[in-house]
Structure 1
Amino acid sequence: MTLRLVRKEARGDLPLLACLAVLVLVLAGMCAWAPSLAGRQEDRALRQRVAAAQAGAPLITLSTVPEVFNSGPPALDMATLLGDGRTLSHRLSGSAARHLSFAGSGGYDYNPATLTSPLPPGETGSSTTLAISHLPDARAHLRYVSGHAPADRTPIGAAPQIGLSQATAQALGVRTGSRLGVEFARVPALQRSPDARLVVSGIFRTAAGADDFWGNRPSLVQPSRHPAQHAGGTVLAVSGLVGTDAADRLAAAGVPGPSVTWQLRADLRQSALDRARALSGPLSRYGTDLDRALCRGTDAYTGGESCAVGSQHTGPLTVTDALTPLVGTFTAQDHQARGLATFAVDALAAVALATTAVAVRLLLRRRKAHLRLQRARGASTARLVLLRSAVAWPVVVIAALLGWAGGRLLAPTGVSGTPRPLSAAVLAATAALTVSLLTWLAVREPPRPRRTARRRRTRRPVAGRRRVVVEVTVLLAAAAGVAALRSQGPDWVLGAVPVLLALATVLILLRLYPLALRLLLLRARRGKGTVGFIGAARAAHDAPATGLALFVLVLTLGTAVFGGLVQRTIGDGLAAGAAWSTGADASATTAGDTAPAPDALTGTSGIRTALQHLHALDLVGQADGAEIPSVAVITVEPRQLAALAPHSPLARTLRSALTGPAGTTAGAGVPLPSVVSPALRARERTGGFTSTVEDHGRPPVQLALDPVGTLSAADLRDPLLGPITAQLAPGTPLLITAASADHLMPQQSSGTTVLLLQGDGPGTSTAALRSAAARALGPLATVRTRSGTLSALRDDGLTRGLENVYATASVLAALSGLLAVALELILTSHERSRTTSFLRTLGLSGKAAGALHFLQMLPLAAAAAVGGTLVGVVEPRLMAPTLNLRQFTGGATQPALRTDYALTLALVGGVVLLILVAAATETVLARRRRLGAVLRLG
């Protein structure tokens, strides 16, 4: 075998070798480009979630309280402390110190203090609280319209300076130069409440476009009013900005140290997911490392651990790490998304390799006569296989290298995803070995038959038994793959299960639809026409020969239908997830047992509200006296819920169970009707419950709770429970009772208050909902709107990435499948044309010949449509136990699987149209043949 012979063989196979090269080039390029592209999408999704989380609060903070009473006169040097705090990052281990940086120079906050003077104009029966903060980053987001910013260095003995917003200054009736009297909480060491005087140095206005910054601290911009926690009246809450040394002056006045906070920012600009994972380990040890290095002994004043940041004595250092849990949740969702994406990727690889096999078969068919001649001249099987391999393997290697280089060139850099050279090598080697294997099957010497009389009779049964063994093996492998998927979920190995399912479906179809065609033949024989009979007979005879084309069509169609089902399920589940997260058009959540003023709930027309209080109580069963700790007790007003959501099953259940007759009053000795969860009912099957609620300085309150109903599964999934059950751990026993229980229990700082807000129509604006929520629960309430939540869910990077993967894979698989079907039809067209030519010589008309072509191809189209649809619809339902799409939609339960029937019909129509177009093309080419060509073909 010489190089000249190889070049001669290659020139004759150029079209099909080019087809093989394109397939390998695309596969190798995808292995280099797709992982990096997916990694960029993951990084973008993680940065998106980090940005959304940091909009409410920093993800990583380091805080401590300086000890100002650990020496004779209280001493505090805040400027030095803030500067020394930036050296704390040196305690981070590994590469975390390079990926974390301090945001700004640090700041501090005092607890809200009582403003004693001046009193706000026109205020009676209310109090005013002033929160003092040092926030250096705020200077870039405001502009002083009067006076100047608080000085970072003021003369000793001078009053600390404070800056107020225009709205705050107007509410307090002050201006630049005014003095504020502030009384702080009592200090145990001084046995009195320290007070101080602050001077207003300037009045500022927020800069345009700074809403995102001030969203974390809205009270600095706009004062707010909310109900008092333990007394009547309202509280006017205001905030102000102070300079660096304001803490020093306040410490000299006897005010204890503020909470000093340094914010750490993770550098996630490049390789966000990889960097976030690398930070998890050092962050988990960060607090322990700081305590070990900086904390020694016990402070005599507080009795707690004494630490030192630079030269300043402080309390224990607290590291708040919200990044690691966020990354853990994201990783779990990303793992599910990757598992779903492997179905599309593996299907694309299978279709491409099937197309490769069809191209090689067509190449060998074109070389059939030449191979016979070479065989007759004495060429061995090994020589022929090596000759074909020597022609094809260099093409495969060069195409793989070019595809890999092109994919690396187009792949984005600085992302978490890494190219897959091993996958590219495996795919290229599979394509190359396919050439050698199919060549060997085509040119191998048939086994010499034994000289026995029974050999001819046993040949066909042996081949049939081999086919049965192969089919049973494929069916068992598909069943085992489905069982593995149902038990552990998808991964890069089990992603090939849909390919096995498609192959098993094709094998079943190849058994069934020829049988159905033969049944049709029994009826066609009795008819007068011959076209239908011959078309059905040829379709039944050619069924095994078109098996590879059927496999490609079924797999491509099934993957596209599966992708449409996933996208439709997620799309429909997003609305339910947003409704579950907010409970209504909007929800406001605040810590503690807050009782808004009645006019705060009814002051906005066009908005209906319902209040829910969550308490954690220890219950005692009346029947057996068993204690049930940490029961979630929710108090609601059933009529409010029914007015807010008239069609809610939970509202109907609570209204019928908790609404007593008119004139009934609740008292400590009167059992309160309640509705319990099935888990709580199982703990106490017959009797009621009692609970003792204690409040410092007051006698304990005894509550009696009488269960009158059990929550159904539909009640537990009702969106009205979504915002409040988000505060509970899974499996927490639940009890719902009437709001009259709130009047029996003292107000407490523990628990949660949730306010549901529903607009009377679609015209209710988001701003109106937020304003009503802030007026009812105060400025510290967390407000979520349904429209905003739904928009955030739809824009989630993982969801969009999954849609892009299925769309891209489906398009590429469709193009590859189109090529495979075209090559397969070319490969089998000789037999169909030969049959048609015989009939044409016997007088068959051109129209009848065209009808014959359509009848021969129609069963293939029908089988592909049925098989692909079944694979796409049944496959996700087989793996439903591990197909966790709730991670993308939220909500109480897994969203119901919904087939996109419009997309399915369009795909089925496309497959049928493709095959019919091929039949029409073949008919047109047959009509152009002259009689001589027809006779030669016959």
Structure 2
Amino acid sequence: MRIALLARAHLGTMAVLFVLALSACLLVAGLPRAMQASFDEALRRSLVSAPAVQADLTVSVESRSSEEDLHERGQFDARDRRWRQILPPALRPLATGAGHMSAKTTSTPVTGTSGHTHMNLGWLSDADRRVDWVQGRAPGKPSTMRYEGATIPVFEVGIVADALPELGFEVGQTKMVGENDYAALKIVGAFKAKDPRDRYWSHNVDILQVVKAQTPGSDELEKRITTLIPDAGLTALSGEGRNLSYHWILPIDARAASALAAPDLQAAVAEFGRVAALQSTASPYHLDTGLSKLLGDFLAEVATAQTVTYLVLGGLLAVALGVIALVVLLLGNRLDQPLSLARARGGSLRQVAGAGALLTGVAVLPAALAGYGLSFLVPGPVLPIVHLGPLVVVVAAVGFAGARLALTHRTPLHERRDDVSAGRPSARRVTLEVLVVVLALVGAYLLRARGASQDPFLLLVPVGLTLAAALITLRCYPYPLRLFVRLAARGRAAVPFLGLTRAARARSAGVLPVLILLPALGVSVFAAVISGGIADTQRLASWQQVGAPIKVTSNVEIPAASIDRIRATPGVEQVVIAQTGRVQVGYGAERAEALAVDVAQWRRILDGAPISVPPLSDGALVSPELRGRGTFEIGWQSRVKLATRGVVESVPSFFTQGKFMVVPLGVLTRPAPNTLLIKGDVSPDVLARLVPSATVETQERALSAIQDDPLTSTVRWTLLVVTVALGSYALVAVVLALVIGAAERASAVSFLRTLGLSDRQAQRLTVLEILPMILVTALVGLGLGLGLPFALGAGVDLSSYAGGLPVGDYSLDLLVPALLAGGLTTVAVLGAYAHTAISRRRNLGAVLRVGDLS
């Protein structure tokens, strides 16, 4: 057959097929690339935002004897080269940066402080590039001295300048450390970090600041500081008499990280730890890193994102293929006469089916290549689906065209009876359909019962529910229409009866749009509901993180003058002072976190917010761990007896677990506020200048931080794109449903026009024939989309994208469903009127053949 001639004759249909195939291939190939690019960005941001001590690889070993001591830099360098040699291939691209090495002692008490002050010794391989000496000088070679009848080493050390006043030390002092094996530490200089915000200091926070810890069984704090010694100090540093460990840090370059390689990285980290341990001689080498946990947490978040996005992308692909099938069906209908003629003249079934498939391929194949090529404009790695998606579209379109024509023209001069609307389904088919519905319901129940999980079962359940809804709709669709037909038959008007009768007797071509509209509406509404649920939970999480529109916290008391200045700042509406602290419960060693605040004022600040706190005028609100105590006593500035007035699971912005309580501010003898809860429109920078020692948090910033996460943005962006695409495909399906039945509808209207049917009646007839299918499918699709989030239940854990809170409160927002349903109805009505207007201009002789009226 002459394919070019057929293509020119049906150019409009071919163009529609080309556009639909192009859009489908671009979406199915481009969206996964964009998603994967965002996954890579999320992984990199996760590694960069995590402290370096967690993300980097640190090989450590303890020295327990003089034979295991390392006294020269060359010994450290040799081992550093060894660690890089044994790095697994998957880790090498990430560990190419220059690292550093260190030697540190731990738990080295200052003599005479009863273990409350510790001065440890530390050597950094690149200290000269990391610090500036602001007092005294850099330390030099160690020496010796006599102490209690023994010769002990004297280390020249440097100490961070901020620690001097906190510890009560001065440059030039000599401190004795140790309890048995003594050493003297002579403070010869004080330093400051060149860049204290550098990730490097995450590994050496003990050098840059005083580390404080609660002494067990006491209210006193232990203070620990690690001092710096030079390369020469290694000669006298030994693990024989003190706790000494050596460290080799291999920094991770997040720019080389890839989400696709994350599982291999996890395995590589474990392998590196195993191989490093094999290098041990006396004391074992061990790998210290939080990289495996970071990767594990990331993979868990990605698994959820992939489940949600691939679920909606799968629905998008299915709907796109369905719409393409409708166009192929339309093309086949228009090819019916020439192909029937060719078949009657001796053409083989292979030639007829091949001609239709080839004509479809002429439109689909270039569109697939164009969509595939355009997808490479989308940044991101090339996944297998990028290649397979367009291929699936081409094979499905061409295969459907060939198979349908082969079935239609399997016998020459095929005839179709117009007086039979549908055949009775066989018992086998009914049994199969019932089985599909039962399995879908059982699958949904099992999914809710077992909770969150990431496996193919999670993807099959929504597909099964959609298929079950479509089957039920197809089977039940004619019955309510037949009831309306009976009611219409009792009236005198013929148009309602004829229109509803034709709708109830719709053929498979008229019912096929149901299979496209239902998943299109279901998945698009599901995506809109999920997106709305994430947005609402994100807002709730931001309020729970901050606890007020603005929160100001300080490690020390906020002066009353600063509070007055904040109250007088333009834009500030209300300021609530609060104090947090750790209190003694009873007279024993039990401790609990406490918050003293005027709860009534706090509740006024939270008016209209999605969070609240119970009212409290006296007594205390306690955590579940402190429930059942009735009246109890606490020690906080003074001894206070409090009655339990309620139990709270958490306190927004302050406590989420453990032992805690909320008490009125009046229980304090002299409130020393360290927290301010502020309502108003004021810049956080202004508040930060008014209270330099404080940290300022806002609910808006917290919400922005949650929303700006790459994974969160990807999920919401993908849901938005899919919603728009599915809505567009649904509209196209409605238009195609009108076009596919246009010829048969025109013939019927033409018959009725010979009997006196007016143009207005013809319009009403067309609307009544089309609208029931649209409305029923729209209602079922909307119900399916609104019910899918609840049907899936805990099977989809979206807490990673909502600030850690579970997304379960899917509020019934009918805006998007109403827009979709309204759009479909409008298109159907407009299409009916357009069809009637076109049919009116046709000559009856061009529609009715000789003998049609006999």
**Shift, 1:435, TM fit:** 0.7
Pairing of 1:383-462 with structure 2 (within 5 A): 383-393=351-361, 396-397=364-365, 399-401=367-369, 403-407=371-375, 409-410=376-377, 412=379, 415=381, 417-419=383-385, 421-422=387-388, 424-445=390-411, 462=424
Describe the superposition over 1:495-553 as per-residue Cα deviations: whole angstroms up to 9, x where unpaired: 35534433432333344443323323333344454443443333333375432222222
Q: Within 2, Cα distance between the matches of 1:558 and 1:456? A: 33
Structure 1 residues 830 and 352: CA distance shift in structure 2, 3 A: same
Q: Report the counterpart of residue 40 of structure 2 in structure 1.
A: 43
Number of residue-to-residue matches in the alignment: 797
User: What SS does the aligned partner of 2:505 have?
Assistant: helix
Q: Within 2, Cα distance between the matches of 1:53 and 1:865? A: 47
Q: Within 2, Cα distance between the matches of 1:611 and 1:769? A: 23
Pairing of 1:192-207 with structure 2 (within 5 A): 193-200=182-189, 204=192
Q: Report the counterpart of residue 559 of structure 1 in structure 2.
A: 523
Is residue 104 of structure 1 aligned with residue 99 of structure 2? Answer: yes
Give the aligned residue type for 2:315: A
Q: Report the counterpart of residue 725 of structure 2 in structure 1.
A: 812
More displaced 10-residue stretch of structure 1: 562-571 or 95-104: 95-104
Asked whether the 8 Å contact 2:110–2:178 carries over to 1, the reply is: no
Aligned partner (choices 155, 178, 185) of residue 185 of structure 1: 178
Asked whether the 8 Å contact 2:548–2:678 carries over to 1, the reply is: no
Aligned partner (choices 59, 62, 83) of residue 59 of structure 2: 62
More displaced 10-residue stretch of structure 1: 522-531 or 634-643: 634-643
**Shift, 1:803, TM fit:** 2.0
User: What SS does the aligned partner of 2:810 have?
Assistant: coil
Asked whether the 8 Å contact 2:358–2:398 carries over to 1, the reply is: no
Q: Within 2, Cα distance between the matches of 1:598 and 1:172? A: 18
Aligned partner (choices 245, 256, 277) of residue 291 of structure 1: 277
Give the aligned residue type for 2:437: L
Pairing of 1:212-231 with structure 2 (within 5 A): none
Is residue 501 of structure 1 aligned with residue 465 of structure 2? Answer: yes
Aligned partner (choices 817, 822, 831) of residue 904 of structure 1: 817
**Shift, 1:887, TM fit:** 4.1
User: What SS does the aligned partner of 1:554 have?
Assistant: helix
Pairing of 1:99-178 with structure 2 (within 5 A): 99-101=94-96, 103-111=98-106, 133-134=122-123, 150=138, 160=156, 162=158, 164-165=160-161, 178=171
Asked whether the 8 Å contact 1:673–1:737 carries over to 2, the reply is: no
User: What SS does the aligned partner of 2:287 have?
Assistant: strand
Backbone CA RMSD of aligned residues: 5.4
Pairing of 1:636-675 with structure 2 (within 5 A): 646-647=613-614, 651=621, 657-660=628-631
Structure 1 residues 197 and 648: CA distance shift in structure 2, 3 A: farther
Structure 1 residues 147 and 859: CA distance shift in structure 2, 3 A: farther
Asked whether the 8 Å contact 1:227–1:233 carries over to 2, the reply is: yes
Asked whether the 8 Å contact 1:64–1:261 carries over to 2, the reply is: yes
Q: Within 2, Cα distance between the matches of 1:444 and 1:775? A: 85
Q: Report the counterpart of residue 434 of structure 2 in structure 1.
A: 472
Describe the superposition over 1:363-395 as per-residue Cα deviations: whole angstroms up to 9, x where unpaired: 121122223322332334344223323443465
Give the aligned residue type for 1:410: L
Asked whether the 8 Å contact 2:580–2:594 carries over to 1, the reply is: yes
Q: Within 2, Cα distance between the matches of 1:788 and 1:456? A: 66
Give the aligned residue type for 2:100: S
Structure 1 residues 224 and 346: CA distance shift in structure 2, 3 A: closer
**Shift, 1:410, TM fit:** 3.3
User: What SS does the aligned partner of 1:608 have?
Assistant: strand
Structure 1 residues 516 and 613: CA distance shift in structure 2, 3 A: farther
More displaced 10-residue stretch of structure 1: 641-650 or 865-874: 641-650
More displaced 10-residue stretch of structure 1: 850-859 or 783-792: 783-792
Structure 1 residues 359 and 529: CA distance shift in structure 2, 3 A: same
Q: Within 2, Cα distance between the matches of 1:213 and 1:768? A: 31
Q: Within 1, Cα distance between the matches of 2:401 and 2:577? A: 71
Structure 1 residues 883 and 542: CA distance shift in structure 2, 3 A: same
More displaced 10-residue stretch of structure 1: 494-503 or 759-768: 759-768
Q: Report the counterpart of residue 831 of structure 1 in structure 2.
A: 744
Asked whether the 8 Å contact 1:342–1:491 carries over to 2, the reply is: no
Q: Report the counterpart of residue 264 of structure 1 in structure 2.
A: 250
Give the aligned residue type for 1:813: L
Structure 1 residues 420 and 233: CA distance shift in structure 2, 3 A: closer
Structure 1 residues 221 and 489: CA distance shift in structure 2, 3 A: closer
Q: Within 2, Cα distance between the matches of 1:140 and 1:600? A: 37
Describe the superposition over 1:14-51 as per-residue Cα deviations: whole angstroms up to 9, x where unpaired: 44344444444554555554443332222211222222
Give the aligned residue type for 1:437: A
User: What SS does the aligned partner of 2:346 have?
Assistant: coil
Pairing of 1:728-739 with structure 2 (within 5 A): none
Describe the superposition over 1:173-222 as per-residue Cα deviations: whole angstroms up to 9, x where unpaired: 999xx424333333x4x3xx42211212x654755x94766677778777
More displaced 10-residue stretch of structure 1: 901-910 or 346-355: 901-910
| TM-score scaled by length of structure 2 | 0.76
Give the aligned residue type for 2:404: L
**Shift, 1:269, TM fit:** 2.8
More displaced 10-residue stretch of structure 1: 342-351 or 24-33: 24-33
Asked whether the 8 Å contact 1:614–1:724 carries over to 2, the reply is: no
User: What SS does the aligned partner of 1:162 have?
Assistant: strand
**Shift, 1:359, TM fit:** 1.4
Give the aligned residue type for 1:104: G
Asked whether the 8 Å contact 2:623–2:650 carries over to 1, the reply is: no
Q: Within 1, Cα distance between the matches of 2:231 and 2:561? A: 41
User: What SS does the aligned partner of 1:379 have?
Assistant: coil
Q: Within 2, Cα distance between the matches of 1:456 and 1:914? A: 28
Q: Report the counterpart of residue 789 of structure 2 in structure 1.
A: 876
Asked whether the 8 Å contact 2:95–2:250 carries over to 1, the reply is: yes
Give the aligned residue type for 1:433: G
Pairing of 1:273-284 with structure 2 (within 5 A): 273-284=259-270
Aligned partner (choices 374, 389, 410) of residue 342 of structure 2: 374
User: What SS does the aligned partner of 2:797 have?
Assistant: coil
Q: Within 1, Cα distance between the matches of 2:557 and 2:456? A: 59
Structure 1 residues 800 and 604: CA distance shift in structure 2, 3 A: same
Structure 1 residues 160 and 374: CA distance shift in structure 2, 3 A: same
Q: Report the counterpart of residue 147 of structure 2 in structure 1.
A: none
Q: Report the counterpart of residue 87 of structure 1 in structure 2.
A: 82
Is residue 760 of structure 1 aligned with residue 677 of structure 2? Answer: yes
Q: Within 2, Cα distance between the matches of 1:784 and 1:115? A: 39
| TM-score scaled by length of structure 1 | 0.70
Give the aligned residue type for 1:389: A
Q: Report the counterpart of residue 339 of structure 1 in structure 2.
A: 307
Structure 1 residues 851 and 909: CA distance shift in structure 2, 3 A: same
Pairing of 1:769-918 with structure 2 (within 5 A): 790-889=703-802, 891=804, 895-918=808-831
Q: Report the counterpart of residue 541 of structure 1 in structure 2.
A: 505
Give the aligned residue type for 1:196: L
Describe the superposition over 1:625-659 as per-residue Cα deviations: whole angstroms up to 9, x where unpaired: xxxxxxx9874559779798842899267798435
More displaced 10-residue stretch of structure 1: 436-445 or 520-529: 520-529
**Shift, 1:825, TM fit:** 1.3
Describe the superposition over 1:383-411 as per-residue Cα deviations: whole angstroms up to 9, x where unpaired: 4223323443465555545544554x435
User: What SS does the aligned partner of 1:805 have?
Assistant: helix
Structure 1 residues 903 and 350: CA distance shift in structure 2, 3 A: same
Give the aligned residue type for 2:288: T
Structure 1 residues 473 and 357: CA distance shift in structure 2, 3 A: farther
Asked whether the 8 Å contact 1:585–1:786 carries over to 2, the reply is: yes
Q: Taking every aligned residue pair, what percent have the same amino acid on both sides? A: 25
Q: Within 1, Cα distance between the matches of 2:759 and 2:509? A: 26
